[in-house]
């Protein structure tokens, strides 16, 4: 997948990250990119670098141990000719990962989904969700134990009109999804959930004949189909096995249903922030989707997204 030049791979010894590290290595090699393999650790208050000795020495020792482990881990990666380095981040995982992105200008974060805490049954834990909300670059969260190849790539595109910001986000989603499908020699599926326009929806509530109602539905569907076809026309899809899934209904239910039906391996989708409230999804639609899917997810932010996380002084 030709795009990323400065990749941050998060290592989590608790979930077994070999597959994710291999994918990050392959991406870095094919893109001639720099790869940073990082681990986030939490230190007790008594073991912070700001503490007095001997607590500070213990903290430094633990950091050094984790760095040595990472250095051993990347020996084979370096032997493949990849420009790779290691980093140990200390603190709250999503904050320190986002700060690393801001500090080092990473253009992709890739990690394995951590085990969610509590009784929740969805795939993504707190760190994954925070990063998909707030990290300014694309975040690729892989499903633990998933096979090495993504046979079915699902791209979720939203309602848009040419020239609108959402159109730019859809273009980014399609750029990544088509590139990934070709790299993986897999199928590309595009899902778009649509609903009646407010005006036609209001008309449908009045006393109209079934024939008029059918025409309203067909007209709305044609508008959305034309929009999706216009988006796809900008891509060379020759030789790429692809399907369009135009679903009438809410995106929050339609996207997970299509992902389940297809047994999608990875979902490429956008997250959009509310005006004036950086780091949150519009209507929580994207978050609702993420709480239902059971596959790897590559999320992207709209152009101009500003993270609420800042670098410490």
Task: Give 257: exposed, middle or buried? Use CB within 10 Å, 0-12, 13-18, 19+.
Answer: middle
Residue reference for tokens 């939490």: 42
Taking only the tens place, the pLDDT of each residue in 160-209 is 655 455 678 899 999 999 999 999 999 999 999 988 765 655 566 665 67
Q: Specify the CATH architecture of the domain 1-144.
A: 3-Layer(aba) Sandwich (3.40)
Contact 154, 293 (CB under 8 A): no
Alpha carbons 173 and 299: distance in angstroms, whole number:
8
Residue reference for tokens 């077994």: 16
Residue reference for tokens 């200390």: 90
Q: Any residues with CB less than 8 A from the CB of 148 and at least 6 apart, and which?
A: 19, 22, 23
Taking only the tens place, the pLDDT of each residue in 24-43 is 999 999 999 999 999 999 87
Task: Report the 10 Å Cβ neighbour count for 2.
Answer: 13
**Partners of residue 84 on adjacent β-strands:** 35
Decide which of 3.30.70.1450, 3.40.718.10, 1.25.40.10, 3.40.50.12370 is the CATH code for 149-313.
3.40.50.12370
| Residue 47, pLDDT above cutoff 60 | no
Q: Any residues with CB less than 8 A from the CB of 182 and at least 6 apart, and which?
A: 240
In the chain, where are the structural domains located? 1-144, 149-313
Q: Which of 292, 269, 294 minimizes the C-alpha distance to 282?
A: 269
Helix, strand or coil, per DSSP, at residue 151:
coil
pTM value > 0.75: yes
Alpha helices in 114-239 (DSSP H): 126-134, 165-184, 198-204, 210-232
Task: Report the 10 Å Cβ neighbour count for 37.
Answer: 22
Quickly state the pLDDT bin for 103 (edges 50, 70, 90): very high
Q: How far is CA 307 from CA 34, 140, 283, 304, 310, in A?
A: 23, 17, 18, 10, 8
Mean pLDDT of the chain: 85
Quickly state the pLDDT bin for 242 (edges 50, 70, 90): very high
Could you tell me where the beta strands, DSSP code E, fall in the chain?
A: 6-10, 34-41, 83-90, 108-112, 139-142, 152-156, 187-194, 242-248, 266-270, 273-274, 277-281, 296-300
* Helix or strand holding residue 136 (H, E): none
Same-fold call for 1-144 versus 149-313 = yes
- Average pLDDT for residues 285-311, to the nearest whole number? 89
| Percent of the chain residues topping a pLDDT of 70 | 81
Q: Any residues with CB less than 8 A from the CB of 81 and at least 6 apart, and which?
A: 29
């Amino acid at each position: 997948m030709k795009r990323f030049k400065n990749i941050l791979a998060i290592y989590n010894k608790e979930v077994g990250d070999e597959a994710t590290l291999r994918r990050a290595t392959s991406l870095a090699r094919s893109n001639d990119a720099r790869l940073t393999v990082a681990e986030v650790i939490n230190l007790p208050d008594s073991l912070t670098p700001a503490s007095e000795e001997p607590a500070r020495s213990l903290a430094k020792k633990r950091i050094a141990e984790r760095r040595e482990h990472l250095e051993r881990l990347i020996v084979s990666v370096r032997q493949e000719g990849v420009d790779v380095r290691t980093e140990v981040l200390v603190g709250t995982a999503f904050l320190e990962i986002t700060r690393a992105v801001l500090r080092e200008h990473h253009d992709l974060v890739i990690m394995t989904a951590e085990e969610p805490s509590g009784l929740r049954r969805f795939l993504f834990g707190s760190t994954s969700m925070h990063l998909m909300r707030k990290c300014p670059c694309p975040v690729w969260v892989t499903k633990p134990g998933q096979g090495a190849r993504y046979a079915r790539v699902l791209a979720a595109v939203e309602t848009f009109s040419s020239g609108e910001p959402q159109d730019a986000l859809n273009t980014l989603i399609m750029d990544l999804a088509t590139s990934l499908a070709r790299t993986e020699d897999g199928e590309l599926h595009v899902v778009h959930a649509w609903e009646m326009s407010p005006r036609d929806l209001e008309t449908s509530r009045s006393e109209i004949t079934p024939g008029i109602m059918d025409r309203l539905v067909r007209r709305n569907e044609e508008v959305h189909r034309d929009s999706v076809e216009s988006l796809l026309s900008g891509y060379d899809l020759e030789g790429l096995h692809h399907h369009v899934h135009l679903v009438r209904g809410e995106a929050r239910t339609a996207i997970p249903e299509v992902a389940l039906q297809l047994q999608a391996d990875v979902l490429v989708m956008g997250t959009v922030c509310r005006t004036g409230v950086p780091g949150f999804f519009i209507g929580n639609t994207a978050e609702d989707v993420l709480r239902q899917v059971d596959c790897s997810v590559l999320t992207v932010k709209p152009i101009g997204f500003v993270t609420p996380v800042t670098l410490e002084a």
